[in-house]
C-alpha cells in the first residue's frame, strides 16, 4: 500500500481496536497492532489514538524517526489524505488555561539573574507532565538534594594581590575548545519542555562556544540535532547500550561518521530508579479509565522515564569495553562512576575518561554526590601514578547551580563539569534565548569568581584554594540555600478522588 494512493481518514478510523490498530504520525499511516504489547509505554496510550492522528502525543516522547526505524517496513502503510482525517479535539482543561496564562505572564528574561531563576519560572509555566519528568528523582529525593548541598561543605581559600585584570576560563575538553569548563550534559525528552526540544541547546551552545552532549533519548532525532549545529561545532554523544548489540554498533558508527568527538557510555542505569513524581503523574493520567472500570491491567510503575528505557541492557559489564574499542575510535568515557575502585578500573581498561555522577539523583538513593566522589577518586589515582594524566579526563555532574560550584570541582581535579536541569528549565521557560542567557550568567559568574579567587586561568585554580575537609561529613551544618529550597517541590502522596457533594 505504501507509495500508492493516499489512505483516507475514514479507512484509518475503522482500525481502532486491539485487533486492528492503525495510527497516523506525521501524515503517515502505521499498523501497530503487533506492536501494542511490545510498546515500552504500554498499549493503553496507543489504543487511545487507534484510528486517529497520534502526532501530538507522539512528538514530545519520541524522535521523529523512531516509529519508521522500529516498525517493519510492511507495517508502513503509506501517506494519509490529511483532508479526510477527523481532527482529534483536545479539550483544554481549566488547569491548562491557567498554565498558559502564567506562561504569558512570565517575568522578562532580564529579570533572571541566576540559574535558580529559570527553575522558578519553569515550575510555574511548564506542563505538569514535563515538570514531573524533569524534576523527579529517586525515592525520597535525598540524593538529588544532596548533590547540590555537597558543594556547601566546600569553602574557598582565595589568594590576594594578584593581577587579575584579565582572567581566562576557557579550556579544552577531549581536545575540543570551550569558552568555559562546563558542557551541557545529556537530558532526555526535550520536547516535554519546548516544541524545539534539544535544538534550543544545540543552537545556544554553538553561539556561546560550549559543547553539548546529545542524549540517546532525545525528542529530536540525532541527525536533526547534528544538522542544527554550526560548522565544526564539537558535540559529544551519550549512549544507553541496547540489549541488541547490532543496534548499539549502528548508533555508535553513525555518531562517529557524523563527527561526534566523545562517546559517553552510561553505566549507572542497569535498571531505572524509582522516580515517584514521574510515576504518580502517569498513574493520575490513567486514573479516569480506572474509575470507569477498565479491566485492562495497568502498570502503575510506569512514568515517562520508564516508558522509554526498556531497551537498556542490564548485562552491560567490563568485558564489553574492549568490544567498544573495536567499533569506534572516539574517546570512550564511562558516565556514572561512583567510587574510586571503578575509576581505577576504567583507567586500566583504557578509557579516556569518567563522569563521576549519580544520574542527577535519579537512580540509587543515597549514592554520594559527584563532588564528594571526586575527592577520593583523585586521591586513589594519584596514589597509583594515574593522575594527572592528559589522556584521562575526570568529569562530574549533578547539583551545579553556580560557576563557583564548577570552580570548586576544577580545584579538586575535575576537567570540566556537566550541567543539565538548569538549561532545560531555561529553554522550557524562554526557549533558546533562555539558554543563551543562562550561559551568559555563568560566564559573568566565572569572570567575577576567578578575580575574587586570585586565579588568572584555570591552571591557577588549585587544590589549595578550597577547603574540602568536611566533604564527607554528611551531618555538618551548612548555610541554607533559600533559592534552591524555594524551587524544590517536595514529594506528595496519593490523594482522594473528587467527592460529589451528598444531597441533604
- How do the pLDDT tens digits run along the chain, 504 residues long? 445 789 998 998 899 889 999 999 988 999 998 887 777 566 777 888 888 888 888 887 777 777 877 788 998 999 988 888 887 777 888 999 999 999 999 999 999 999 999 999 999 999 998 999 999 999 899 999 999 999 999 999 999 999 999 999 999 999 999 999 999 999 999 999 999 999 999 999 999 999 999 999 999 999 999 999 999 999 999 999 999 999 999 999 999 999 999 999 999 999 888 888 888 776 444 433 322 333 344 444 445 555 556 788 999 999 999 999 999 999 999 999 999 999 999 999 999 999 999 999 999 999 999 999 999 999 999 999 999 999 999 999 999 999 999 999 999 999 999 999 999 999 999 999 999 999 999 999 999 999 999 999 999 999 999 999 999 999 888 878 888 888 888 888 776 666 555 454
Catalytic residue among 240, 347, 425, 427: 240
Torsion of CA 285, 287, 293, 297, to 10 degrees: 70
The answer to whether residue 240 is catalytic is yes
Verify whether residue 268 is a known catalytic residue.
Answer: yes
Burial of 256 (0-12, 13-18, 19+ CB in 10 A): middle
Give the separation between CA 488 and CA 466, rounded to whole angstroms. Answer: 27
Give yes or no: 359 in active site.
yes
Q: Which of 31, 359, 425, 430 is catalytic?
A: 359
Residues 6+ apart with CB under 8 A from 484: 116, 148, 401
What is the rounded CA–CA span in Å between residue 274 and residue 138? 5
pLDDT in tens, 12-40: 889 988 999 999 998 899 999 888 777 75
Grid cell at residue 384 = 597509583
Q: How far apart are CA 225 and CA 61, in angstroms?
A: 16
Residues present in the chain in total: 504
Active-site entry in 53, 268, 342, 405: 268
CB 345 within 8 A of CB 337: no
Pull the grid cell for residue 423: 538549561
Q: Strand pairing of 332-337 and 353-356?
A: parallel
DSSP state, residue 306: G
Distance of CA 3 to the CA centre of its chain: 37
**H/E element holding 155?**
strand 155-156
Instruction: Provide the CB-side half-sphere exposure for 235 (13 A, CA).
Output: 32
CA–CA distance, 491 with 145 (Å, rounded to integer)? 12
Q: How far apart are CA 431 and CA 421, in angstroms?
A: 14
3-class secondary structure, 73 = helix
CA angle (6, 12, 16) in 5-degree steps: 165
Non-local (6+) Cβ contacts of 180 within 8 A are 169, 170, 171, 210, 403, 406, 439, 442, 443, 446
User: Is the backbone peptide bond immediately before 195 cis, with ω within 30 degrees of 0?
Assistant: no
Chain position carrying cell 549533578? 398
Amino acid at each position: 500500500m505504501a507509495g500508492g494512493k493516499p489512505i483516507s481518514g475514514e479507512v484509518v478510523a475503522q482500525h481502532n481496536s486491539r485487533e486492528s490498530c492503525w495510527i497516523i504520525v506525521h501524515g503517515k499511516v502505521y499498523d501497530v497492532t503487533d506492536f501494542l504489547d511490545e510498546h515500552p509505554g504500554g498499549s493503553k496510550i496507543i489504543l487511545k489514538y487507534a484510528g486517529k492522528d497520534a502526532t501530538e502525543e507522539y512528538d514530545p516522547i519520541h524522535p521523529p524517526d523512531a516509529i519508521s526505524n522500529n516498525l517493519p517496513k510492511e507495517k508502513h502503510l503509506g501517506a494519509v489524505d490529511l483532508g479526510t482525517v477527523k481532527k482529534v479535539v483536545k479539550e483544554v482543561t481549566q488547569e491548562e488555561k491557567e498554565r498558559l496564562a502564567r506562561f504569558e505572564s512570565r517575568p522578562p528574561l532580564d529579570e533572571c539573574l541566576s540559574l535558580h531563576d529559570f527553575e522558578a519560572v519553569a515550575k510555574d509555566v511548564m506542563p505538569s507532565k514535563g515538570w514531573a519528568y524533569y524534576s523527579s528523582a529517586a525515592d525520597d529525593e535525598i540524593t538529588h538534594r544532596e548533590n547540590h548541598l555537597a558543594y556547601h561543605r566546600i569553602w574557598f581559600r582565595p589568594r590576594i594581590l594578584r593581577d587579575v585584570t584579565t582572567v581566562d576560563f576557557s579550556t579544552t575538553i577531549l581536545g575540543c575548545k570551550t569558552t568555559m569548563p562546563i558542557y551541557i550534559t545529556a537530558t532526555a525528552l526535550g520536547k516535554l519542555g519546548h516544541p524545539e526540544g534539544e535544538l534550543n541547546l544545540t543552537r545556544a551552545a554553538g553561539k556561546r562556544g560550549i559543547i553539548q552532549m546529545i542524549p540517546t533519548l532525545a525528542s529530536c532525532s540525532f541527525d536533526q540535532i547534528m544538522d542544527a549545529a554550526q560548522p565544526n561545532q564539537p558535540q559529544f554523544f551519550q549512549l544507553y547500550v541496547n540489549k541488541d548489540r547490532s543496534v548499539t554498533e549502528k548508533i555508535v558508527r553513525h555518531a562517529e561518521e557524523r563527527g561526534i568527538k566523545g562517546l559517553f557510555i552510561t553505566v549507572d542505569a542497569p535498571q531505572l530508579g524509582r522516580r515517584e513524581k514521574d510515576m504518580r503523574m502517569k498513574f493520575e493520567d490513567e486514573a479516569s479509565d480506572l474509575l470507569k472500570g477498565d479491566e485492562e491491567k495497568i502498570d502503575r510503575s510506569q512514568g515517562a522515564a520508564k516508558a522509554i528505557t526498556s531497551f537498556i541492557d542490564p548485562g552491560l559489564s567490563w568485558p564489553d569495553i574492549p568490544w567498544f574499542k573495536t567499533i569506534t575510535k572516539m574517546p570512550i568515557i564511562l558516565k556514572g562512576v561512583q567510587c574510586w575502585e571503578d575509576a581505577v578500573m576504567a583507567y586500566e581498561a583504557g578509557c579516556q575518561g569518567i563522569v563521576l555522577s549519580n544520574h542527577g539523583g535519579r537512580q540509587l538513593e543515597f549514592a554520594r554526590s559527584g563532588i564528594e566522589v571526586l575527592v577520593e577518586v583523585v586521591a586513589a589515582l594519584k596514589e597509583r601514578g594515574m593522575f594527572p594524566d592528559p589522556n584521562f579526563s575526570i568529569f562530574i555532574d549533578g547539583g551545579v547551580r553556580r560557576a563557583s560550584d564548577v570552580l570548586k570541582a576544577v580545584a579538586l581535579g575535575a576537567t570540566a563539569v556537566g550541567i543539565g536541569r538548569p538549561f532545560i528549565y531555561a529553554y522550557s521557560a524562554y526557549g533558546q534565548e533562555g539558554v543563551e542567557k543562562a550561559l551568559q550568567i555563568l560566564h559573568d559568574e566565572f569572570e567575577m569568581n576567578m578575580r575574587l579567587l586570585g586565579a588568572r586561568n584555570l591552571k591557577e585554580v588549585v587544590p589549595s584554594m578550597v577547603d574540602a575537609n568536611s566533604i564527607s561529613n554528611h551531618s555538618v551544618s551548612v548555610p541554607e540555600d533559600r533559592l534552591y529550597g524555594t524551587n524544590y517541590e517536595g514529594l506528595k502522596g496519593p490523594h482522594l478522588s473528587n467527592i460529589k457533594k451528598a444531597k441533604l
